[in-house]
Amino acid sequence: MTRTTRAATNGSHSLLGPRVYIGHVGKDLEQVSPGIWEVAAAGGMQVPARVFASETLLAAIRGDRSLEQACNVAHLPGIVRASLAMPDMHEGYGFPIGGVAAFDAADGIVSPGGVGYDINCGVRLIRTDLRADELGDRLRRLVLQIQRDIPAGVGSEGAIARLSDHDLDAVLRTGAAWAVRAGYGQPEDVAFTEAQGCLPGADPAALSHRARERGVPQLGTLGSGNHFAEVQVVDEVLDQSAAEAFGLAEGQLTVLLHSGSRGLGYQVCDDALAAMHRSKGRELIPLPDPQLVAVPLSSPEGARYLAAMRAAANFAWANRQVMMVLIERAMARVFGGSRSSLGFRLVYDVAHNIAKLEEHDVGGTRRTLLVHRKGATRAFPAGHADVPAAYRAVGQPVLIPGDMGRPSFVCVGTQLAMRETFGSAAHGAGRSMSRHAARRAGAGRDIFAELGQRGVVVAARSPKTLAEEMPEAYKDAAEVVEALRLSGIARPVARLRPIGVVKG
């Protein structure tokens, strides 16, 4: 796939074929309120591009093409309010990672670049009644047990025997509920999963044979790259009432699990991009970047992609549900007891890469929008009907993973987020260097030993992956959370310090 050339940052136009325009970036970024910055609509931009970031993070953002990409997204037909970018934004395929864009369901578009290759990559936070200060040598045993019990790495095959066509269809249609019915977890897990772990409208028939083939052996696998299972301790509670609602207290042992739809989701995206590039509907949409290929929601290609994307999202929720139970079993082997006696419970599962039909107020009118979140999470406020009943008085948990050596955070959605970002917030720390650059920076270093000196036990199948994912490769999640607080779109609840990490 063709990459665009870097646009000028002085407001000039760069042409990449007919009807192509690169948006204004750089000096045109102006602060509109604390933590919120904007590039005014110009040229072919239908709406402004709006960035939620601190001044410190802006310096990093200007180091790649992500701001340019946010301006490019603003050109797409049917976009509502603004092209949005979260404080962890960095360059991605088409859309920036950290990008949020909503399109009118009646006359808007759908773009695979606005979801990404790892469809419904996401995180789930698990709390326990175990105390971190009581672990002793059992921490290392737990990390190694999780590594043994959860298949990880490129091409890894799952703990579940290869799915039959019938079972794969059921996974694709029903998501996390299929895993619970198969004996992996409890019905309450579904209640604490975004969208109850299933997007309606999924159609297994929309997937190619190759996508199905890639998914069959991979249910219950962690994968590689930035995916992980991390053992953590609640280091500090920052909002007592919300922490109590989420079942979190200082000194408590938690686990954060990060994975997605694996090869199945990647193939769904690849197939859709190829189909849309061939589509006649695409010719009607001016593209500032070929990677932003999009088609009308009403087109056959748009409908097929949405049906397949929803199925891949459901696969990812089933995948994380299965792995959560594998972690539960690993804990039972190391500590004894049961789910109940361990106090093992899902706090929340939230998606990072997804497009969903949602109802939002726009200019005082209730409208149905297709909200693309790529490297961004839902952040609904207190009182919203889609927030689990147990959390409705405080709002939805927003999970912000850190890196292997620095803390992660639990935040909570706000009313301002609903007004400004369609109820969206950041999804993590965000990369500060490419994987290639991280490998160069890590050459000759013992990342295992460095993390051990920080008090973090690491189990990784690939030293290469460990170098690519070293802490310096990421922004500081604390800075991202401060930007969320400053702009008002999420409120910090608790800080979680890593003490054990399992990587592919």
Q: Which residues are catalytic?
A: 427
Terminal-residue alpha carbon distance, the chain: 27
The set of residues, in sequence order, having a beta carbon less than 8 Å from that of 323 and lying 6+ positions away, is 150, 220, 221, 222, 229, 257, 259
What is d(CA 56, CA 47) in angstroms, rounded to the nearest whole number?
Answer: 25
Environment class of 333 (CB within 10 Å of its CB; exposed 0-12, middle 13-18, buried 19+): middle
Distance of CA 89 to the CA centre of its chain: 12
The set of residues, in sequence order, having a beta carbon less than 8 Å from that of 27 and lying 6+ positions away, is 9, 10, 11
- Which residue type occupies 65? R
Output the six-digit token pair for 421: 């970002």
| Ramachandran category for residue 224: left, alpha or beta (phi over 0 → left; psi -120 to 50 → alpha) | beta
Q: What is the largest CA-CA distance in the chain?
A: 65
Sheet with 83-90, edge to edge strand ranges: 29-33, 36-39, 49-52, 83-90, 97-104, 365-374, 353-362
Cα dihedral sign for 316, 321, 327, 329? negative
The set of residues, in sequence order, having a beta carbon less than 8 Å from that of 207 and lying 6+ positions away, is 172, 264, 267, 268, 271, 308, 311, 312
- Distances from the Cα of 28 to the Cαs of 4, 53, 290, in angstroms? 21, 16, 24
Name the CA radius of gyration of the chain, rounded: 21
